[in-house]
Structure 1
Amino acid sequence: MFNHEGSHLRNELAGYIEKYTGMDGTYSTPISALHFIRASSETELVHTIHEPALCIVVQGRKLIMLAQECYVYDPSSYLVVSLQLPISGQVIQAAPERPYLCLRLDFDKHQIFELIKSGQETPPKKSGSPKALFVSPMNQALLDAVVRLVRLLDAPEDIPVLAPLFTKEILYRILQAEQGQSLKQFAVSGSHAQRIAAAAQLIERDYNQPLHIAKLSAAVNMSPSSLHHHFKEITALSPLQYQKQIRLQEARRLLLSETSAAADAGFQVGYESPTQFNREYARMFGLPPIRDIKRLRDSLDFGTHGT
């Protein structure tokens, strides 16, 4: 439970997010890795490829789905995504008088590695496969560090020097928390987590090419069975399922941003059969491609709500 100071810090964060948003949507800030999200009503399920980040809900509640796993977080907790993941998100608590307010701080494994290398954080202990996504209870030390980072928006001349320091402290606080061990492993060369992160990066890079498990496992120095096991443990998806979701997300982006026909979009992302593409697209997004894109284009706020 938070004391009075914790509640005050949350209210201060809410004030900053309202000040720098004003309307529903996702907003960048003068701190390049920091983004604010606002929604005045509950949303439909939004599919996205989520980059590594810390996400903190200041007001409201969010549901995140990764394959068959569901996570809910609110002001009492925070979400960490350790590698690129195809996830679905839905604001499940928001109202005009009390909107959903969230901040996202992007980071990469090199920042974690530097903390460990500098001796400011202990190396990870050997353990089972970590999760690429986790929700942890919020603590006041982390919240305090986040507020100090956000306050820099009022002192832009301090951002170049102090933002990297406060971000480093935020990552340190996450690593010190109960599930920090999971995050550490993604930064350590040779760990299962690091190899799976490399495999995921290769799949994403060549998502429109046939996936050869033997070649992929050799590239990350794992056996095919070990790759499949640890990939599923860490991402909740098999390598093929991961590729399929990347392909379908990209096809949807192509259809929204261009005048591509459904068959052309399917072909561009690696599908040889339009029938298979239409079937798998509808299974993931709820409607066949053309109807889904029409629904999105008819919506005034499609794609505006981030995690």
Structure 2
Amino acid sequence: MDLVSERIYKQQDELAKLIDRYSVRDGVHATAIPSLFFMRHSNVTEPSYGVYKPSLCIVVQGAKEVWLAQERFKYSPADYLVASVDLPVIAQVTEASSDVPYMGFKLEFTPGQILEVLSDSEIRVEPKENAKRAMFVSRMESSLLDAVLRLVRLLENPKDIPVLAPLFMKEILYRVLQGQHGVTLAQIAIEGSSAYRIRDVIEYIMNNYDKSFRIEELAEIANMSVSSLHRHFKEVTAMSPIQFQKQLRLQEARRLLLSESTDAADVAFRVGYESPSQFSREYSRMFGYSPKKDIKRLRAQYDHRNRVRGGG
């Protein structure tokens, strides 16, 4: 093991111990630092569906896969993953055990924080450069782990968080912007860039996923032609605007069915479908089961996990 690899190994070992201290049980754990979350899983998980906000994700132990449309992003302690805009994804922990649980770190950020780092640094991005995929995996670097550790250590001294956390977050984003795919992250904050304009369209769809829209409306928001919008949107998100909207609708429908005692037809209308039969077909295509079977299956799994935790 060379000196750099040895240093990274020691940093990850310290990070794993800190995450272990603040996430005793399996699941996602918010921390005293706003926008910082820890994840812990003692078993390989089923695929989970959700929206990744702009965030830096690090695997400290184990391994994970994230699917964006048909693209698979695999990462482990040797890498880190970044989502630069809101993206509907499927995620799965692929390596975990009770002896060596999966441990993850997620730090959410905003385009404004990216712009602040760009303004204070000599990193330059060409606004006219073509938009790039808004998710990437890069090799882990010791300088990035250094900044991450400084941020996480603040949990030991909560009084320092208000002053120091913003500084360490800024350093973390600076390290990512300096990395192999830094330009992809920078683009979302550069006014006038294709990625910036697609971000506006994504925000509109996120806020209006249950409403129908014409593609011309989205092109107007982006100040692009319809063909340019399609091309750039697919480049950024790996899907068309309609596919993006469909994923949001179906994810929200599943959440509603799980959290409320309501029928599939009612939920179909609430998330924007005009035809319950079309909703049922698309739900089955995405999740592999009809709405009724899927929810019954998920509730049974949830009850089983609770019995195991409770020792029942």
In the alignment, is the contact (CA less than 8 A) between 2:85 and 2:199 conserved in 1?
yes
Shift, 1:52, TM fit? 0.7
In the alignment, is the contact (CA less than 8 A) between 1:149 and 1:166 conserved in 2?
yes
- Which amino acid is 2:169 matched to? T
Give, in whole Å, the separation in 2 of the partners of 1:117 and 1:18.
36
Give, in whole Å, the separation in 2 of the partners of 1:303 and 1:279.
29
* Secondary structure class of the residue paired with 1:153: helix
Match of residue 142, structure 1, among 136, 141, 144: 144
* Secondary structure class of the residue paired with 2:180: coil
- Give the corresponding residue for 2:267: 265
- Which amino acid is 2:95 matched to? Q
Structure-1-length-normalised TM-score: 0.96
Shift, 1:32, TM fit? 1.1
* Secondary structure class of the residue paired with 1:259: coil
Larger relative contact order (Cα-Cα within 8 Å, sequence gap ≥ 6): 1
Give, in whole Å, the separation in 2 of the partners of 1:122 and 1:58.
28
- Which amino acid is 2:67 matched to? M
- Which amino acid is 2:82 matched to? V
Matches within 5 A, 1:62-101: 62-101=64-103
From the superposition, tell whether residues 301 and 69 of structure 1 become closer, same or farther in structure 2 (CA, over 3 Å). farther
From the superposition, tell whether residues 301 and 224 of structure 1 become closer, same or farther in structure 2 (CA, over 3 Å). farther
Give, in whole Å, the separation in 2 of the partners of 1:239 and 1:302.
38
- Give the corresponding residue for 1:205: 207
- Which amino acid is 1:182 matched to? T
Residues 134-193 of structure 1: CA distance to partner in whole angstroms, max 9, x if unpaired? 000000000110001000000101000000000000000000001001000000111100
- 1:278 to 2:280 alignment: yes
Residues 101-139 of structure 1: CA distance to partner in whole angstroms, max 9, x if unpaired? 000000010000111123x14231343221110000000
Give, in whole Å, the separation in 1 of the partners of 2:80 and 2:122.
20
Q: What is the count of residue pairs matched by the alignment?
A: 303
Give, in whole Å, the separation in 2 of the partners of 1:195 and 1:303.
43
Deviation larger for 169-178 or 108-117: 108-117
Q: Which runs of 5+ in 1 are unaligned?
A: none
In the alignment, is the contact (CA less than 8 A) between 1:188 and 1:194 conserved in 2?
yes
- Give the corresponding residue for 2:123: 122
- Give the corresponding residue for 2:226: 224
From the superposition, tell whether residues 240 and 301 of structure 1 become closer, same or farther in structure 2 (CA, over 3 Å). farther
- Give the corresponding residue for 1:184: 186
- 1:104 to 2:106 alignment: yes
Q: Which runs of 5+ in 2 are unaligned?
A: 307-312
Give, in whole Å, the separation in 2 of the partners of 1:236 and 1:27.
29
- Which amino acid is 1:259 matched to? S
Moved over 3 A (4+): 301-304
